């Protein structure tokens, strides 16, 4: 396990495995570096993998106020740690974050994204416009489980009965532990 300090002073924790060109893994909602270890292990046969806890998750810090730009700075700090440029893989909302990083000049050699949560047509109901405010209100009032359920049912359109079943499982405690970061994942990409 390694640690770097991002531009705003936030400690970012990562695991470094393998040999080869540097590859940074950027997790999506509800995930930390432990959840992404299943990806890191096979990739480490071909790459030096930097699998990190995004801010607010796992063992990384969470300096406030949150901004997407701070997460881009976290990726940039990992890129510097990796030697100045890197391949980057992002899944789900982590994929959107990697696109933001690339658009804002991060030294990404190659970029792969998987299932970015874009709604590009009318094939599904749109995400509620006040989703970030709803999630924030739930988190501030200590309703982390409700926030996670709302993110899943209104954002990802998971069936409510499926989420209710998930809430009864032992892993739900881990879901609630990172629920405060759902506000980060629900924000729109930065534009400047």
User: Whole-structure pTM over 0.85, yes or no?
Assistant: yes
- Inter-residue contact 139 to 179 (CB < 8 Å): yes
Residue 169 belongs to what domain range? 131-186
Q: Dump pLDDT digits (tens) for 89-121.
A: 999 999 999 999 999 999 999 999 999 888 788
Domain-located, residue 106: yes
Helix-helix angle 68-81:93-103, to 10 degrees: 80
Number of domains the chain contains = 2
Domain-located, residue 105: yes
| Two tokens, residue 141 | 């009032």
| Two tokens, residue 175 | 């879901």
- Neighbour count for residue 31 (Cβ, 10 Å): 24
Looking at the fold, whether 15 and 41 belong to one and the same domain comes out as yes
Q: Dump pLDDT digits (tens) for 10-44.
A: 999 999 999 999 999 999 999 999 999 999 999 99
Q: Report how far Cα 144 is from the mean position of its chain's Cα atoms.
A: 17
Sheet of 2-5: strand order equals 2-5, 11-17, 48-52, 22-26, 86-91, 108-114
Q: Where among 83, 114, 145 does a domain terminate?
A: 114
């Amino acid at each position: 396990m390694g640690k770097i300090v991002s531009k705003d002073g936030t400690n970012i924790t990562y695991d470094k495995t393998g040999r080869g060109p540097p590859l940074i893994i950027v997790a999506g909602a509800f995930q930390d570096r432990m959840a992404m270890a299943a990806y890191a292990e096979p990739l480490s046969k071909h790459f030096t993998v930097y699998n990190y806890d995004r801010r607010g998750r796992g063992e990384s810090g969470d300096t406030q106020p949150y901004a997407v730009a701070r997460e881009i700075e976290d990726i940039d700090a990992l890129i510097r740690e990796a030697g100045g440029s890197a391949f980057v893989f992002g899944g789900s909302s982590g994929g959107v974050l990697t696109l933001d990083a690339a658009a804002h000049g991060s030294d990404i050699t190659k970029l792969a994204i998987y299932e970015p949560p874009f709604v590009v047509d009318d094939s599904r109901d749109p995400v509620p416009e006040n989703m970030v405010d709803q999630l924030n209100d739930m988190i501030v009032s200590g309703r982390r489980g409700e926030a996670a359920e709302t993110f899943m049912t209104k954002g990802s359109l998971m069936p409510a009965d499926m989420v209710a079943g998930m809430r009864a499982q032992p892993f739900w405690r881990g879901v609630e532990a990172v629920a405060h970061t759902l506000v980060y994942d629900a924000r729109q990409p930065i534009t400047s």
